Amino acid sequence: MPHCSPADPTMALQFVYSNQDFVTDVRRTSGNDLGMGSTLAKFDTTIQGGWTDRMGRGLFRYHLGDLQTRILPGPHGYVAQLNIQRGTERRKPQEILSIQQEFSAEQFNFNKINPEEIIFDMIKDTEGGNEREQLHQPCRIVVLVNVSPLEFGHCLFVPDPSRCFPQILTGFAVQAGIESVLLSSDPGFRVGFNSLGAFASVNHLHLHGYYLDQELKIESAPVKPLVPEKGFYRLLDFPGGFLFYTESEWVEKVARAICQVTDFLVDANIAHNLFLTRGCPPCDHTQSREDRGLRKGIRIAVWPRKSCFGAKGESAFNVALCELAGHLPFKNKKDYDLTTEKDVMDIIQRYLLPDAEFHTLEQQLTRHLVD
């Protein structure tokens, strides 16, 4: 079983886990019924308890109550939420000039946070693993609260902050992100990543994690197979993006393939967002209600997109990891009340690659993963 133990008083609580702790019997029963909500895993209770404790201690920039939420009419089922304070109270984003910008110790980074914001150190028990590989990998993920939360439980996963990695995905970070979703018994737990130029606001490697009770269409959207032996597909009936799928036994293989794609995007100076969620197995058509309820595996959506540097311009919402996945935190009441699904799709399309550029990239990535 995973365990959390206070080590040295100067160190954070430790959450130690192994592959044996992955939860594979997750499913949605119907609509927004989470199905597993009454039997939370130790991972969930540790994050949620730590997050609620820090909220009670006043460590956040604002108090997050129950957010006003509505589902926009239309086939995409966008989940709109009113979160005005995140837009007004969050820390000013850093000036980002390049997708490959180097880490700067002078800028804000996660070595400068209040230590009380840390919930735990997440450490994988790799007994019997490849020792040579382990020597070159960070040994821990620091899990801390996001003091400007999007939703309940919003936390950050930071691979060994002292290593000062810039905001460019590594195999260790991708694998840890997938494994964190597998450790959760709640299909509403999501993880995501914004690259530089894709609304990342801190150039220090981190992923976001949070709970959203509402079902998202991306959990069951149909796909076109591209390199299925590596879990690689293209999303259909969704804003132009790619999809990886993995179950617990294929995590390392699929994490390597994801990094092949994100490394290619970084080398090509293409900004990108990732969104990881429980999802049903990939299929090229709309599935039955029973099949759509399966949540044994993890869907990892990857959106290549136009780079955005400088001021963040949209008044309604920024187009980053959660918005592309169908979760829309609105900055003001008027847009929250009046925005339609068509309005959302028009805004999102402004940030995605043109169709011809996307299809060229699809061909390049398919060849890249096959070679």
* 79 bridge partner residues: 71, 327
CA distance linking residue 37 with residue 272, whole number of Å = 31
Mean pLDDT of the chain: 89
The number of domains in the chain is: 1
* Alpha-helical regions (H) of 72-213: 84-89, 131-135, 171-183
Residue 294, pLDDT score: 78
CA angle 40, 220, 84 (to 5 degrees): 70
Q: How far apart are CA 54 and CA 203, in angstroms?
A: 24
pLDDT tens per residue, range 45-96? 999 999 999 999 999 999 988 899 999 999 999 999 999 988 676 667 777 8
Grade residue 312 by pLDDT with cuts at 50, 70 and 90.
low
Q: Is 259 left (phi over 0), alpha (psi -120 to 50) or beta?
A: alpha
Domain containing 338 equals 3-58+67-370
pTM of the model: 0.91
Measured distance CA(114)–CA(263) in Å, rounded: 32
Distance CA 278, CA 208 (A): 15
Quick one: tokens of 223? 């796909």
Average pLDDT over residues 251-261: 97
For tokens 């984003």, the residue is 93
pLDDT of amino acid 8? 40
- Please give the Cα distance from 292 to 220 (Å, whole number): 6
Q: How confident is the model at residue 303 (pLDDT cuts 50, 70, 90)?
A: very high
CATH code for the domain of 54: 3.30.428.70
Residue among 76, 154, 204, 206 flagged as catalytic: 206
Give 187-246 pLDDT, tens digit per residue. Answer: 999 999 999 999 999 999 999 999 999 999 999 999 999 999 999 999 998 888 999 999
Task: Evaluate if residue 250 carries a pLDDT over 50.
Answer: yes
Residue 4 binned pLDDT confidence (cut-offs 50, 70, 90): very low
Is 206 assigned a catalytic role?
Answer: yes
pLDDT at 6: 39
| Proportion of the chain above pLDDT 70, given as a percent | 87
> β-strand 14-17 against 118-124: which pairing, if any?
parallel
